[in-house]
Structure 1
Amino acid sequence: MFKQFSRFSSRMSIFQRNFSPIRSRIRYYYSNPDYYKRFNYRQDQKITFTQLLKDPTSRKYLAILFGTGSLFYITHLEEAPVSGRKRFLWIPRSLELKIGNYTYNSMLSETGNSILPSDHPLAKKVENIFGRIVEAAQKDHTVDRSQLDGIKWKVHIVNDPRAPPNAFVLPGGKVFVFSSILNICQNDDGLATVLSHEFAHQLARHTSENLSKAPIYSIIGLVLYLVTGVENINRLLLDSLLRMPASRQMETEADYIGLMIMAKACFHPEESVKLWQRMSAFEKQIGGSRSLEFLSTHPASDRRIQNISEWLPKANNIYNESECGIFTGYYKAFQDTIFDKNPVEPGFTYDRFQ
């Protein structure tokens, strides 16, 4: 051990002798600020965005960065299903699924004790409704079926009346529905509205879209900081002008996609308006005014009602073209007898778990 230490010490002494000329040169640079003039920088100066634009070398690198970034952005624009909106996607599906799996395990650890058994009547009912939504999406020619093939869908009902009304679908096909939202849904069509909306988020890959935009927001934030030098104002500008509008746009798109898919699945589109009316009344009851929509990630319920009302004629056409209007009674009876392996017990009501 001591021999090894001595060899190490001798090597360090050789390194120090070889490094001493370089060290002295560095000290000379630090003692002579004029050497920094070639880089247009002095120790007592702060680089600003204006200085970067005036410097030819900086302009060249900024042009290369902007050109390369623009080309990358254009070549990674994809069309969303059903809505046809162009969106920026570069995050691979595999990473999206890993994030979904991590979130799923976290949710199980948080809610595991409150999850109803898979053979519970409510769990089977939600599973059947969600299955009809997935089946309808698979029949849509605008949907990339590779996003749905091989997905092992699994529905979890979180029976916790204290939890706020909520439902979501994770990448990878894991569905969570909190029992506290059932009183707002009130019926199968209301529940289908919620499930189709959450399913639409994954169908449109909104998780990947958010992840894809994160580096862009960081670059814009850096540029704003170079211009203003104030971090808090920059964050407010980013949120109000970019992040929040983008989030509301995805929520609106999920409303649209979900409405069309639920209509194709033979659920009554008109019930979606009633659902958001009940949601609006619930928000007012708990004091959530949502008056500052521009600082919210979700559109106000009143705006969603307005949007859905405008889309209803198209959704009703889809409903009628799917022969739901003519064969509604027969279709429901067929679903109950063929697909519902565990029929809901008599007297089942949605408000039973409140």
Structure 2
Amino acid sequence: MTPYGSNSNESRMMAGTRRSGGMRWWVLILAAGYLGYYYLSNRQEASFTGRKQLVETTVEQDVALGLQAYRDILSGERGNIVTEGETPEMVRDIAQRLVAAGPKVEALLKQSNGVGADTPWDQFEWAVSVIESDQANAFCLPGGKMAVYTGILPVAQNQDALAAVMGHEIAHAILRHGAERMAHQKLTQIGTVAAGVATSDMDPQRQQMVMAAIGAGAKFGYMLPFSREHESEADYVGLMLAAGACFDPNESIGLWERMGATGGQRPPEFMSTHPSGETRIQNLQSWMADAEKVRAALCEQTF
């Protein structure tokens, strides 16, 4: 018997009953209130597209984070960085043309579409490196630091297609997708912690099932579609940058056809962070008339 008149078996049964309790809804309500406040107080208008986005950090912070990551990447690629020859000169020229065209393209799209905030171009710190690698890839970090891997050159085949690749990566930086992902990751982390606390009274097996369902819902209903939206937005802005820099935007179609031929087996689109190659080509084709208008408006030569 315990001092309260029940034996130890009864105490364990009572504890088990309490452990198998329900959801602590008040935790979720408080978390939802904070998440709503955080979301509404950190919204801004994306450059070029006017899409409402969630960003907490400043461009200056983007630059600092990107610079540190850039140094780390290049330090790990010592001996593979190509600084002389035709390829680095070509890559630097393409980057300079794309960045120089950016403000003009943004102003033109803002005038014609009436959307898009002004990008603080003077706050970005642009630089590009060429890395000898079989990777068919390129990147542009928050703040403007870029790299092109030589493995992308045989796939691109020409400067126009390479400009589409680099324009896409530059678009990620000027649209501040990295900062936006950080803000959304913070929301996800807060929501996950709140869900863990809210289900803490459940028995372990039931809690695990609920948390797994929440995780799957967040991944397929929110995180992956959000990532694909970023990729499509960067495809659009990158195409306009390439066109405004007087590259042929039509070469982007052949690029993605070749990427599809060399990429191997891919997961279904709903399970991927990127749109499928077919979706990307369809989108690019639907935007091509706008890209040609940008090219005609900003380039002197006749095509």
Establish whether TM, by shorter chain, passes 0.5: yes
CA distance in 1, matches of 2:219, 2:95: 33
Preserved contact between residue 83 and residue 256 of structure 1 (Cα < 8 Å): no
Which is further off, 87-96 or 274-283?
Answer: 87-96
Instruction: Indicate how the Cα distance of structure 1 residues 93 and 153 shifts in structure 2: closer, same or farther if over 3 A, else same.
Output: closer
Query: What is the CA RMSD across the aligned residues, in angstroms?
Result: 2.6
1:134 to 77, 84, 99: 99
Gaps of 5+ in 2: 5-13, 108-115, 200-205
| Equivalent residue for 2:142, pick from 147, 158, 171 | 171
Q: Give matches, 1:333-352, under 5 Å.
A: none
Is structure 2 residue 132 aligned with structure 1 residue 159? Answer: yes
Alignment map for 1:16-55 (pairs within 5 Å): 44=16, 45-46=18-19, 50-53=22-25
- Counterpart selection for 1:67 from 24, 27, 33: 33
Residues 1:149 and 2:128 are matched in the alignment: no
Shift of 1:296: 1.1
Query: 1:66, 1:132 → 2: CA distance?
Result: 45
- Pairing partner for 2:58 from 82, 89, 92: 92
| Range moving further from structure 2, 229-238 or 206-215 | 229-238
1:131-165 CA distance string (max 9 Å, x none): 1110111222346342x2143322111112xx321
Instruction: Give the Cα separation in 1 of the matches to 2:122 and 2:41.
Output: 26
- The alpha-carbon deviation at position 261 of structure 1 amounts to 1.4
Q: Displacement of 1:98 after TM fit?
A: 3.1
Shift of 1:78: 1.2
How far 1:276 sits from its partner (Å)?
0.6
Distance 1:316 1:228, change over 3 A: farther
Distance across 1 between alignment mates of 2:64 and 2:118 = 20
Q: Which residue matches 2:280?
A: 304
Moved more, 252-261 or 132-141: 132-141
Paired residue for 1:198, among 169, 177, 182?
Answer: 169
The 8 Å contact of residues 142 and 179 in structure 2, kept in 1 or not, is answered as no
Deviation, 1:228, is 5.0
Please report how far the alpha carbon of residue 238 of structure 1 lies from its aligned counterpart in structure 2 after TM superposition: 2.2
**CA separation in 2, counterparts of 1:318 and 1:125?**
23
Question: How does the TM-score come out when normalised to structure 2?
Answer: 0.82
Structure 1 residue 200: Cα displacement: 0.1
The answer to whether the aligner puts 1:322 opposite 2:298 as a matched pair is yes
| Number of matched pairs | 276
CA distance in 1, matches of 2:53, 2:123: 24
Q: Could you tell me how far apart the structure 1 residues matched to 2:23 and 2:94 are?
A: 60
**Cα offsets for 1:223-251 (capped at 9, x unmatched):** 55538533444433322221111111100
Q: Give the corresponding residue for 2:203.
A: none
Question: Does structure 1 retain, via aligned residues, the 8 Å contact 2:63–2:144?
Answer: no
1:248 equivalent among 228, 235, 258: 228
Identity over aligned residues, as a percent? 31
Task: Write the distance in 2 (CA, Å) between the matches of 1:222 and 1:145.
Answer: 35
1:4 paired residue number: none
CA contact (8 A) 2:28 2:194 kept: no
Structure 1, unpaired ranges of 5+: 1-30, 33-41, 54-58, 329-354
Larger relative contact order, structure 1 or 2 (CA cutoff 8 Å, min sep 6): 2
1:115 alignment partner, one of 81, 95, 100: 81
Q: Tell me the secondary structure at the aligned position of residue 82 of structure 2.
A: coil
Aligned partners of 1:92 and 1:46: how far apart in 2?
A: 44
Residues in 1 aligned to 2:207 and 2:300: alpha-carbon distance in whole angstroms: 58
Q: What residue in structure 2 maps to residue 280 of structure 1? A: 260
CA distance in 2, matches of 1:78, 1:218: 21
The one of 251, 266, 273 equivalent to 1:271 is: 251
Identify which of 284, 288, 294 aligns with 2:270.
Answer: 294
Q: Deviations over 1:269-324 (max 9, x none)?
A: 111111111111112xxxx2224211111111111001100111111111112244
TM-score by length of 1: 0.71
- Tell me how far apart the structure 1 counterparts of residues 51 and 273 of structure 2 sit (CA, whole Å): 19
